[in-house]
């Protein structure tokens, strides 16, 4: 998937822009190790007294004491490793115990229906958590077409993110190789809880 900047449109509310920004940020952090610029941006984040706000504040604190080389080693231990990392961040694995299973095929069908194609230089399966975060952010602000309706967002979330992303972020939060990414796991878990509850409260 492309990681081009979000294109804001007049029909997107400020709340939805913020949601998309957080999805895109999680996607960036989970796609590759953060460089010095992204770590500095992360260190500048602030949070309120909600669960999500406290998690963001903790992440900012961690980023202030993390060097790019440290972040790279942590990322590699978590997601790459010798043969495999500590975590396998794929919907198919979390939902079936195996890679490249039915959840990936279902996702590919839904992406194709939305005319969303994998970028030529991307080799990860599309059910990688980073890609799903990026796609969700793009749907909200209309990066792939026009902004998705709330019902369409809800359908995509409930089919491809809601059933497993919270479990992944909880695992990331407690992973033995994680320090910076433990804090990121707390942010992701809190955000997924908010999104799941918000979609649950919307009318069908």
Report if residue 125 sits inside a domain: yes
pLDDT of residue 167: 98
pLDDT for 4 beyond 70: no
Range with the poorest average pLDDT among 11-15, 90-94, 194-198 = 11-15
Report if residue 7 sits inside a domain: no
pLDDT of residue 158: 97
Report if residue 1 sits inside a domain: no
Report if residue 9 sits inside a domain: no
**What is the SS3 assignment for 163?**
coil
Report if residue 5 sits inside a domain: no
Global pTM value:
0.92
Total domains, the chain: 1
pLDDT of residue 122: 74
pLDDT of residue 73: 97
Arithmetic mean of pLDDT, 86-101: 96
Arithmetic mean of pLDDT, 34-52: 97
Q: Tell me, rounded to whole angstroms, the distance of Cα 4 from its chain centroid.
A: 15
- Phi, psi (deg, nearest 5) at residue 128: -65, 140
The string of pLDDT tens digits covering residues 142-151 is 998 899 999 9
The string of pLDDT tens digits covering residues 165-174 is 999 999 999 9
Element (H, E) at 103: helix 102-113
Averaged pLDDT score across all residues of the chain = 92
Q: How far apart are CA 8 and CA 14, in angstroms?
A: 10
Q: How far apart are CA 68 and CA 71, in angstroms?
A: 5
**What is the SS3 assignment for 173?**
helix
Report if residue 81 sits inside a domain: yes
CATH number of the domain enclosing 162: 1.10.3480.10
pLDDT of residue 83: 76
**Backbone dihedral region of 62: left (phi > 0), alpha (psi from -120 to 50 degrees) or beta?**
alpha
Buried b (16+ CB within 10 A) or exposed e, 57-74: bbbbebbeebeeeebeeb
Report if residue 164 sits inside a domain: yes
Report if residue 8 sits inside a domain: no
Instruction: Give residue 118's pLDDT band: very low, low, confident or very high (50, 70, 90).
Output: confident
Q: Domain of 56?
A: 14-201
Q: How far apart are CA 13 and CA 91, in angstroms?
A: 29
pLDDT for 102 beyond 50: yes
């Amino acid at each position: 998937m492309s990681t081009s900047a979000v294109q804001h449109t007049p029909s997107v509310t400020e709340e939805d822009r913020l949601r998309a920004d957080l999805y895109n940020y999680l996607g960036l952090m989970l796609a590759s190790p953060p460089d010095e610029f992204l770590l500095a941006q992360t260190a500048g984040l602030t949070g309120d007294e909600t669960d999500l706000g406290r998690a963001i504040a903790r992440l900012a604190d961690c980023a202030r004491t993390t060097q790019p080389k440290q972040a790279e080693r942590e990322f590699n231990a978590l997601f790459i490793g010798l043969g495999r990392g500590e975590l396998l961040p794929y919907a198919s694995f979390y939902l079936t115990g195996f890679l490249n299973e039915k959840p990936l095929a279902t996702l590919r069908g839904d992406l194709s229906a939305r005319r969303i194609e994998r970028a030529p230089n991307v080799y990860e399966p599309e059910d990688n958590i980073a890609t799903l975060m990026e796609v969700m952010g793009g749907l909200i602000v209309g990066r792939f077409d026009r902004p998705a309706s709330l019902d369409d967002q809800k359908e995509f979330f409930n089919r491809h993110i809601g059933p497993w992303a919270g479990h992944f972020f909880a695992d990331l939060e407690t992973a033995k190789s994680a320090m910076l990414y433990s804090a990121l796991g707390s942010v992701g878990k809190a955000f997924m809880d908010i999104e799941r509850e918000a979609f649950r409260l919307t009318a069908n």
